[in-house]
Structure 1
Amino acid sequence: MRTVVIYEGPEIDPVDTGEVRIIASPHDLLVQRAIEEYAGGADRIELCGAVGPLPQAAILDAIPTAAVGAVLYGFESLDNIAAYKTAYAAGEKLQDAFLYLDRDAPATGRRQARGDTTFVAVPDSAAAGQVAEELAAGGVTLFELYAGLGPHDAAAVWRGAARVRSDVAVGLATYPSPLA
């Protein structure tokens, strides 16, 4: 299954592992990029938390047969995601991490950096929690989970990061209900 993660930002070199492709897109091109990636063979499209459900709905309108998820945050993260958003809007330098599932990744994770974002392939929940603890100790406060990582992985990331700091936010790619 090929998952394409799209986050809002200036276009830079994508992270591409074959099964997972992570790209940046300017806001005004989000729908177009999603259409292109779907036409290019993406099975799932996942949108970062800064993109949200409004563009998600526009993408679903443009390609109704696509599986399009968006990162949402739980109640335990709301204060911290609000603080992150305020700091981001004020121009503060922030660090974040996108974690995604790759069963072949080492337990320490396979990392690639693009600007202030670290993209990390993890093989399982235990590794996700360990990587989150290490990244949080290094200053990462925002974690987003993609490409097959689920609620148990998000809980592991939350617990790992919270061992070293209290200002973390953890978001998880979620999909519309098939009953909708």
Structure 2
Amino acid sequence: MTTHVLFEGEPGVIVDDGDVIIEGVELADLVKRAANAARDADRVELCGGVGVDDAARVIEVIGGGVEVRVNRYGFESLEQVAAYKASFETGEAGGALFLYGATVSTPLARHEGVVVAGVADREALIERVREARGHGVGIVELYGGLGASAAADVRDAVDGALPVGFID
């Protein structure tokens, strides 16, 4: 299954491992980029920062042929997400950490406002999130097959100190 992740950020593909593509887009281009992504992907995953109106437009344009999912946060993360959003708007937020399921784990890679890594197992997941926390990330989002169980592992690894979003 090919998963194409879209987030609002510096335009361009930051990951393409054959199974997962992660691409930054300008919000004005989100629907167009999602439609393009749906041509080659089995699933389109949208960043937790994408609003419900934009997500609904993406779903409407793509139709039923490709699954569209939106990153979500557990209730325990909502206050932290609100604090991150406020600090993001003032330019004070730490970067976002995007982790995705991969056949082979990859080292952390920095891109404009985003740190990203593929993780092949729970051990790599915990290792990457702890390493990224040391670099000051302020929020974690999980993609490409990393769901609620992985999110719980991340919350535990950071003692609940960071908001963790996931695709359910």
Give the alignment's TM-score, normalised by structure 2. 0.92
Paired positions, count: 167
Read off the aligned partner of 1:81 and give its amino acid letter: V
Match of 1:159 in 2: 156
Please give the residue correspondences for 1:3-82 in structure 2 after superposition, counting only pairs within 5 Å: 3-39=3-39, 41-65=40-64, 66-82=66-82
Measured after TM superposition, the shift of residue 90 of structure 1 is 1.0
Q: Which residue identity is paired with 1:48?
A: C
Aligned partner of residue 63 in structure 2, secondary structure: coil
One-letter identity of the residue aligned with 2:75: F
Which residue of 2 is the match for residue 178 of structure 1? Answer: none
Contact 2:9 2:112 in 1 (8 A): no
TM superposition shift of 1:130: 2.4
Answer whether contact 2:4 2:43 (CA < 8 A) is retained: yes
* CA deviation after TM superposition for structure 1 residue 136, in Å: 1.4
In structure 2, relative to structure 1, the CA distance for the partners of 1:147 and 1:52 (3 Å cut) is: farther
Structure 2 counterpart SS, 1:110: coil
Partner of 2:137: 140
The alignment-based identity, stated in percent, is: 35
Q: CA deviation at 1:13?
A: 4.3
Q: What amino acid does structure 1 have at the position aligned with 2:38?
A: Y
Letter of the structure 1 residue corresponding to residue 164 of structure 2: V
Moved over 3 A (4+): none
Shift of 1:139: 1.2
TM-score, normalised via structure 1 length? 0.86
CA contact (8 A) 2:108 2:128 kept: no
Within 5 Å, which residues of 2 pair with 1:71-110?
71-105=71-105, 109-110=106-107
Which runs of no fewer than 5 residues in structure 2 stay unpaired? none
Alignment gaps of 5+ in structure 1: 175-180
